[in-house]
């Protein structure tokens, strides 16, 4: 594997890559980096694919535009189209996890000529809601259920990122632990936050690193977020209503390329996005695999690398 920088039309992107052959592009989520896919890049590179995992816009070694609106889904999909071309390819399979999953789904929705297959982890395709912006709907659902405020709504505040920047090490350690499959169920995050609390304060101070996270690997995350901060990553969340307004043309659209989906049965994200798993086949008619991994949490490609690698290679080999 190697790390290098690639200049695309409007962005300097840092990528982790290995191998040669058909291109497979890996899109990370929050709070992750291209290195979150290290096990997959290595395995697919050895299996005859050109595996590439960029630090996404606003993260790690990639450029971080100042304007909040520069983190819309149109920009994120555009970055991946540019990257495919800059890597010398015309098509690829796109793989996404967490926030990277909605980006990957939209890559397939918007440019099926480029992204000819899609595989996503943790977050199923969520259809555009015709009745109004997502944050309004999420706030109403949370209020009716009496669950507290969903962290996505809390992230809309202009200064929400400062909570993470007070102590980057603690914020990342707590975040990884609270969403991990090895964490006791009663201590896992639900994503809903009671008044007076925030994403970090709800997690015990002595939360350890997940069992799969080595100290050296964790130090890479800490160094990257201490240098780059959390403002840009949270701007992804602050654009979700903008994304809704920009994607009216995708209302009721289906993914027309082959697809696959995997989720851990103990992934806390299922508390608020799991409702969309049941309808995934209707949105992705050529859904060739839908797998629930027993005992796995949110960071599934790092928690269960062998399971994810085998699943991906089977999907790719069948294309």
Domains identified in the chain and CATH numbers: 2-128+252-317 (3.40.50.1820), 134-236 (no CATH)
Sequence-separated (6 or more) residues with CB below 8 Å from residue 286: 255, 256, 257, 258, 259
Closest CA to 244 of 56, 28, 29, 73: 73
Under the phi-then-psi rule, with left for phi > 0, alpha for psi from -120 to 50, and beta for the rest, what region is 238? alpha
What confidence score (pLDDT) does residue 132 get? Answer: 87
Which residues form the catalytic set? 98, 298
What confidence score (pLDDT) does residue 180 get? Answer: 98
- How many Å apart are CA 257 and CA 2, to the nearest integer? 30
What confidence score (pLDDT) does residue 227 get? Answer: 98
- How many Å apart are CA 56 and CA 54, to the nearest integer? 6
User: Residue 16's beta-bridge partner residues?
Assistant: 3, 53
* Cα Rg, the chain, nearest whole Å: 18
Start-to-end Cα distance in the chain: 25
pLDDT tens by residue, the chain, 319 residues? 999 999 999 899 999 999 999 999 999 999 999 999 999 999 999 999 999 999 999 999 999 999 999 999 999 999 999 999 999 999 999 999 999 999 999 999 999 999 999 999 999 999 998 888 999 988 888 887 788 899 999 999 999 999 999 999 999 999 999 999 999 999 999 999 988 999 999 999 999 999 999 999 999 999 999 999 999 999 999 999 999 999 999 999 999 999 999 999 999 999 888 889 999 999 999 999 999 999 999 999 999 999 999 999 999 999 9
What confidence score (pLDDT) does residue 146 get? Answer: 80
What confidence score (pLDDT) does residue 225 get? Answer: 98
- How many Å apart are CA 5 and CA 79, to the nearest integer? 14
What confidence score (pLDDT) does residue 282 get? Answer: 96
């Amino acid at each position: 594997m190697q790390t290098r920088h690639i200049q695309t039309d409007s962005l300097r992107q840092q990528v982790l890559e290995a191998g040669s052959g058909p291109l497979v592009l890996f899109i990370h989520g929050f709070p992750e980096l291209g290195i979150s896919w290290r096990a997959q890049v290595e395995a697919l590179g050895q299996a005859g694919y050109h595996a590439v995992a960029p630090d996404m816009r606003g993260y790690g070694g990639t450029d971080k535009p100042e304007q909040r609106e520069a983190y819309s889904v149109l920009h994120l999909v555009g970055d991946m189209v540019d990257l495919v071309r800059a890597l010398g390819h015309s098509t690829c399979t796109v793989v996404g996890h967490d926030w990277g999953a909605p980006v990957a789904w939209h890559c397939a929705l918007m440019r099926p000529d480029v992204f000819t297959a899609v595989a996503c982890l943790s977050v199923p395709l969520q259809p555009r809601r015709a009745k109004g912006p997502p944050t309004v709907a999420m706030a109403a659902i949370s209020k009716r259920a009496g669950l507290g405020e969903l962290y996505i709504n809390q992230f809309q505040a202009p200064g929400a990122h400062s909570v993470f920047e007070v102590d980057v090490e603690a914020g990342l350690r707590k975040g990884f632990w609270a969403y991990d499959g090895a964490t006791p169920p009663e201590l896992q995050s639900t994503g809903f936050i009671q008044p007076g609390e925030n994403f970090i304060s709800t997690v015990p101070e002595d939360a350890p690193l997940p069992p799969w996270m080595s100290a050296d690997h964790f130090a890479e995350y800490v160094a990257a977020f201490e240098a780059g901060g959390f403002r840009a990553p949270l701007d992804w969340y602050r654009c979700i209503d903008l994304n809704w307004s920009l994607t009216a043309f995708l209302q009721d659209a289906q993914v027309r390329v082959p697809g696959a989906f995997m989720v851990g049965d103990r992934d806390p994200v299922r508390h608020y996005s799991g409702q969309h798993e049941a309808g995934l086949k209707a949105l992705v008619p050529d859904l060739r695999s839908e797998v629930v991994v027993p005992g796995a949490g949110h960071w599934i490609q790092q928690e269960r690398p062998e399971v994810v690698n085998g699943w991906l290679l089977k999907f790719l080999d069948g294309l």
